[in-house]
Every structure is written in C-alpha cells, then in structure tokens.
C-alpha cells in the first residue's frame, strides 16, 4: 500500500468519523466490487454475496464511527470484516444458496451475446471450482490472481508474513489446478 | 499453469450489477444518514483533513523550516543593511547589493542601482567621521573608497552596455539615468570635497576625476542614443543637458584670473553654444571634450606645482594601506582607476 493511498484512506476515515456521507460513499464506490467478488467466490451465490457485501459495509461504518482506533489500511479492514461476515453466514445459515443462482444471474444479463455467454460459463465454472478450495486457499488466490494484489499487500490484508503467503499461494494454485484437471477428466 | 492464472484474472469481470450496486449504495447511505448525529460542515471537513497526523505533521515541519529560514534571512539582511565598513555583515551587504543589481531588467536600471550604491558608500564614508580609532578609521576609509570606485566602474560598464543596446532597451531610462548621474555627480563632488582630512589629494583628485568622467560619459551615451532613436528621446532633453554643461564650464572660466586664457575659453564656449543652437549635438559634445582637455592643460601647471610631491608619486599611502592609482589617462573616455588595496588581510 503506497503512502499516498494510506494518507487518502486515513483522511477518508477521519471524515467518516466526523459524519461525512460523501467520504463513506467514496469508500463504497472504491471497494464494493472487490469485496463483492471476495465474498461471492466463498459463498457461490450472487444474492447472498450482495447481502453480505451490504452487511460488510454497514459493519465497517459502525466500526469506524464506533471507535477512535487508528485505521491505517481500510482495505485490510474491509477484507477482515468480509471474512468474518462469511464465517458468520455459514455459522448461522443452514441453507446454502446453490451456484446455479450465480450462473443464471450472469447468463440472463448477456443472453444476446454468444461469445459473452461462453466467457461467463467459463468464469462460472472456475468460480465453482474455486468454491471447492479451502477458505484459506480461496481467498489467497482471489486476492493475488483475481484482484492483482502483490504478495506484500496480500500479507498485509490477511495478517500473514510474505513468506507464508508465497508458500500458501503455491499450494493453493497447485490444489486448484488439480481440481480443474479432475473436472476436465470427468467431463 | 499460465492458462489457469489467466483465467483467474478473467474473474475480475464478475461484478455486482450496476443497478444492484446503486440500490445498495443508496440503502447504506440512508442507513448511516439516519444514525449519524450531524453532517460535517466545510470547516469541519477541512479541519479533519488538516488535523490528520499525515497532513499536520509535514505541514508543521515545513512551516517551521520556512519560518526559521525567513527569520534567519531577515535577521541577516537586517543586520547586513545596517552594517558599517569593517563589520561582520558588511560583505553580506555588498553581496546583497550585487544580487539586487543582477535582478534589474536592463543596463540603465542597473546603472541607477549602482549609482545608488556609490552614494551609499559616500554616506558610509561620512559616517566614519565618528570612528575613534585612527588605525581602524584609515582601514575603513580605504575599504569604502575601494568599493566606491568599484561602484563607479560598474556604472561606467552599465552605461557602455546601455549605449550599445538596441531599441528594446528603454530609452526613457537612459534619460532618467543621465539626469541621475548629473545630480549625483554634483553630490559626490561635494561630499569628496569635505573629506580632505581622510583622503590624500591624489586619491581625492582621482575620484573626482572619475566622477566627472562618468558624468561626461553619461552625456555621450545620451547623445549617441538620440542619434540612433531620435523619435524616442526628446530633443529638448539633449539641449538642456548640453546647455547645462556649457553653463557649468562658463562658471568655471569666470573664476580664472588669467585674462588671455579666459578670453580663449569663452571664445571656445561660444563656438560650442552655436553648435548647440544649430542642433549639431555630436559636434558640440566633441567640442566640450576637446575644451575640457585644453582647459585642464591650461590650468594644470599651477595645480601640478602645488601638489608635485603627491601627484608624481603614483603610490599613495592611506594609513597602512597602499593605493595604486593610474592618473595618466587624458582621453575622453573614463580613465581606469585601479585601486588595489594591499594589507595583511583582505578587506571587504
């Protein structure tokens, strides 16, 4: 996380604490898509991911305004709250939304475009395969390969050492590759 | 593996659809709007941003450094401006003056500044009267005289450049600077005449000659400029300046006792007056220069005789310092007054 972004986030947090809705809207606009994806890849349901995303941002606001602790990395805070929200979701809900919801929602939006449908199907297949990974592997692959965060940034967000992230990432990718290959051989 | 990572990167296209995102955003803003106490006003926004450690600390450091720099500079400049020859800050004062000259727009403006600084040197010379230590005083007098001479040389140099400058150089400034040189030259001569005790005859004579030569040279520059840019310099200015010069020379003649020289001088001055009335300014100026040379030769034997011991020796002692002066030049251009101060330590 570069110094400029750090300062910018810190200032936004200070503004939120002083009641600025604009500052909160800026944070939402900046991070909602990546938090949504992070959750979606874990819960495999568009509807659930949307609900949890809203919950994450509401909890983030409550956390920021409810304490005067220094928050240097709002991105790490959002991911941390998102992880806990997903854990809470699995803990409290016995009902698990199926992946079919996600596929249907994506396909309906682009039904007139054959190429896009193919792409979406590939994407959904991969999301499905990722959902078979452990939470640890899932989120580390999401952060590094999907969101394009550096090893250092991933370590910062997950609260791990860089070496630990490297090792876990290597194992996660290997595991995903095996899932993909198994899936192809089954098909 | 590469294909797999490429596919993973494609997952970025999985996004919450825009309508859902907008609805969610509105919902969240409504929720937090209902719960918050009062929205911040502009001042509070500014204060929260400004008061943040990442903003306030660098701002505080930069401000502190800036204030220290400005205060230090102001103190130094203030001390330098009031410093006297021999003072710790006197060299700073001189450097600052050079800097101010360098920042001027053109050569005539520079000449104006340099005249101002020459005037300042003579003021400093006058202020040295109260100095109690004779040795210190002699050293300081020598220092001031050196820098006064330097300023005169700078004026000459700037005038030379102004004379050859193109039309872009402000011709109005040339008129101003010539008027200034005329006024100041008179003042300089008056001040120098009051320092017979501090300055040897040779030094004083050389400086007076230098002042007079710069005055004449400024007139040459004005006439040269007028010849090149007649439409930009009023003719009346040239007439007034030359007329004033001829009148001054006439007053000098009236003090002569030798009737033959007096008659010859008046005849020459009449001829110059006619040239002036015929608007032959260059010829009139050339006549003035030739007249001054002739007049100096006519009155020189008596003066030389009275100061023989000093003038013939080209080394003059001012206190413990030796000042070497070239008084041999008799051409119309300003002779170079080379003042070299030699002492045990360098004096600024």
* DSSP string for B63-116: HHHHHHHHHHHHHHHHHHHT--TTSTTHHHHHHHHHHHHHTSSSHHHHHHHHHH
What's the full length of chain B, in residues? 348
Cα diameter, chain A: 57
Mean pLDDT of the A42-65 span: 90
Mean pLDDT of the B113-141 span: 80
pLDDT at B132: 59
Q: Would you place residue B160 in the very low, low, confident or very high pLDDT band (cuts 50, 70, 90)? A: confident
pLDDT tens per residue across span B71-118: 888 887 777 777 778 788 888 888 888 888 888 888 888 888 898 999
Chain A CB contacts of B55 below 8 Å = 7, 11
Report strand pairing: B321-324 vs B315-318.
antiparallel
Sign of the Cα torsion A137, A143, A147, A149 reads: negative
Joined together, the tokens standing for residue B320 give: 């413990």
C-alpha–C-alpha distance, residues B132 and B138, integer Å? 11
Q: Would you place residue B131 in the very low, low, confident or very high pLDDT band (cuts 50, 70, 90)? A: low
pLDDT at B231: 75
Q: Do B75 and B89 contact (CB within 8 A), yes or no?
A: no
Is A25 at the interface with chain B, CB within 8 A? Answer: yes
C-alpha–C-alpha distance, residues B3 and B9, integer Å? 10
Residue B128 is given by DSSP the state G
Joined together, the tokens standing for residue B325 give: 């002066």
In this complex, the residue of A21, A33, A36 whose CB is nearest that of residue B39 is A21
CB–CB contact B29 A173 (8 Å): no
Q: Do A47 and A97 contact (CB within 8 A), yes or no?
A: yes
Joined together, the tokens standing for residue B171 give: 């011709």
pLDDT tens per residue across span B6-52: 888 888 888 888 899 999 999 988 888 766 555 556 666 666 666 66
pLDDT tens per residue across span A119-154: 566 777 888 888 888 888 998 999 999 888 889 889
In this complex, the residue of B32, B48, B49 whose CB is nearest that of residue A61 is B32
Chain B CB contacts of A32 below 8 Å = 16, 21, 24-25
- Residue B73's alpha-carbon distances to A69, A96, B69, B87, B280, in angstroms, are 43, 73, 6, 17, 53
C-alpha–C-alpha distance, residues B154 and B97, integer Å? 12
C-alpha–C-alpha distance, residues B322 and B342, integer Å? 6
71-90 of A, contacting B, C-beta below 8 A: none
C-alpha–C-alpha distance, residues A29 and A24, integer Å? 9
Q: Would you place residue A75 in the very low, low, confident or very high pLDDT band (cuts 50, 70, 90)? A: confident
pLDDT at B214: 85
Is B37 at the interface with chain A, CB within 8 A? Answer: yes
Question: How many other CB atoms are there within 10 angstroms of residue B138's CB atom?
Answer: 18
* Confidence check: pLDDT of B344 > 50: no
Is B54 at the interface with chain A, CB within 8 A? Answer: yes
Lowest mean pLDDT among A57-66, B17-26, B49-58, B320-329: B320-329
pLDDT at A1: 55
* Confidence check: pLDDT of A106 > 60: no
Average model confidence (pLDDT) across chain B: 76
* Confidence check: pLDDT of B135 > 60: yes
C-alpha–C-alpha distance, residues B222 and B186, integer Å? 18
Mean pLDDT of the A150-163 span: 89
Q: Would you place residue A163 in the very low, low, confident or very high pLDDT band (cuts 50, 70, 90)? A: very high
pLDDT at B35: 62
What's the full length of chain A, in residues? 187
Give A69's Cβ-side CA count (13 Å radius). 11
Give A80's Cβ-side CA count (13 Å radius). 14
pLDDT at B130: 64
C-alpha–C-alpha distance, residues A58 and B275, integer Å? 99
pLDDT at A2: 65
In this complex, the residue of A61, A109, A126 whose CB is nearest that of residue B7 is A126
pLDDT at A168: 93
Interface test with B, best of A39, A145, A180 (most B CBs within 10 A): A145
* Confidence check: pLDDT of B336 > 50: no
Q: Would you place residue A172 in the very low, low, confident or very high pLDDT band (cuts 50, 70, 90)? A: very high
* Confidence check: pLDDT of A103 > 70: no
155-184 of A, contacting B, C-beta below 8 A: 173, 176-177, 180
């Amino acid at each position: 996380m570069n110094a400029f972004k750090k300062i910018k986030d810190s200032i936004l947090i200070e503004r939120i604490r002083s009641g600025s809705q604009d500052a909160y809207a800026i944070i939402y606009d900046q991070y909602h898509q990546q938090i949504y994806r992070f959750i979606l890849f874990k819960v495999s349901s568009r509807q659930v991911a949307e609900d949890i995303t809203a919950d994450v941002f509401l909890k983030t606001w409550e956390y920021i305004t409810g304490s005067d602790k220094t928050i240097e990395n709002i991105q790490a805070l959002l991911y941390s709250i998102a992880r806990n929200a997903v854990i809470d979701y699995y803990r409290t809900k016995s009902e698990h939304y199926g992946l079919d919801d996600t596929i249907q929602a994506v396909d309906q939006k682009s039904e007139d475009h054959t190429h896009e449908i193919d792409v979406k199907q590939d994407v959904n297949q991969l999301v499905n395969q990722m959902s078979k990974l452990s939470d640890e592997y899932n989120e580390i692959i999401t952060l590094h390969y999907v969101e394009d965060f550096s090893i250092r940034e991933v370590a910062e967000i997950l609260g791990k050492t860089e070496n630990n992230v490297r090792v876990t990432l290597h194992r996660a990718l290997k595991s995903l590759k095996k899932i993909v290959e198994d899936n192809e051989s089954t098909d | 593996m590469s294909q797999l990572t490429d596919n993973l990167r494609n997952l970025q296209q999985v996004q919450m659809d825009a309508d859902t995102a907008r609805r969610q955003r509105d919902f969240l803003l409504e929720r937090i709007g209902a719960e918050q106490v009062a929205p911040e006003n502009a001042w509070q926004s500014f204060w929260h941003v400004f008061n943040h450690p990442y903003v306030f600390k660098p701002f505080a450091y930069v401000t502190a450094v800036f204030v220290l720099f400005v205060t230090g500079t102001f103190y130094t400049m203030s001390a330098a401006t009031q410093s006297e020859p021999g003072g710790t800050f006197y060299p700073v004062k001189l450097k600052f003056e050079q800097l101010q000259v360098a920042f001027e727009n053109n050569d005539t403006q520079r000449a104006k500044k340099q005249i101002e600084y020459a005037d300042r040197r003579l003021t400093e010379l006058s202020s040295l009267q109260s100095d109690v230590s004779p040795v210190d005083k002699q050293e300081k007098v020598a220092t001031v005289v050196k820098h006064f001479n330097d300023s005169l040389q700078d004026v000459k140099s700037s005038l030379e450049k102004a004379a050859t400058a193109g039309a872009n150089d402000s011709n109005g400034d040339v008129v101003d600077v010539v008027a200034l040189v005329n006024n100041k030259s008179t003042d300089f001569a008056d001040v120098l005449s009051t320092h017979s005790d501090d300055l040897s005859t040779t030094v004083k004579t050389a400086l007076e000659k230098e002042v007079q030569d710069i005055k004449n040279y400024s007139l040459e520059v004005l006439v040269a400029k007028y010849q090149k840019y007649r439409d930009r310099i009023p003719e009346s200015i040239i007439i007034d300046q030359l007329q004033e010069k001829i009148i001054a020379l006439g007053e000098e003649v009236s003090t002569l006792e030798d009737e033959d020289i007096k008659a010859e001088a008046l005849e020459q001055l009449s001829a110059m007056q006619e040239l002036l009335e015929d608007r032959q300014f260059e010829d009139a100026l050339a006549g003035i220069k030739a007249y001054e040379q002739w007049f100096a030769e006519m009155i020189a034997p008596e003066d030389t005789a009275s100061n023989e011991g000093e003038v013939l020796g080209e080394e003059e002692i001012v206190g413990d310092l030796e000042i070497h002066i070239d008084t041999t030049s008799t051409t119309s251009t300003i002779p170079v007054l080379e003042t070299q101060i030699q002492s045990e330590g360098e004096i600024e």
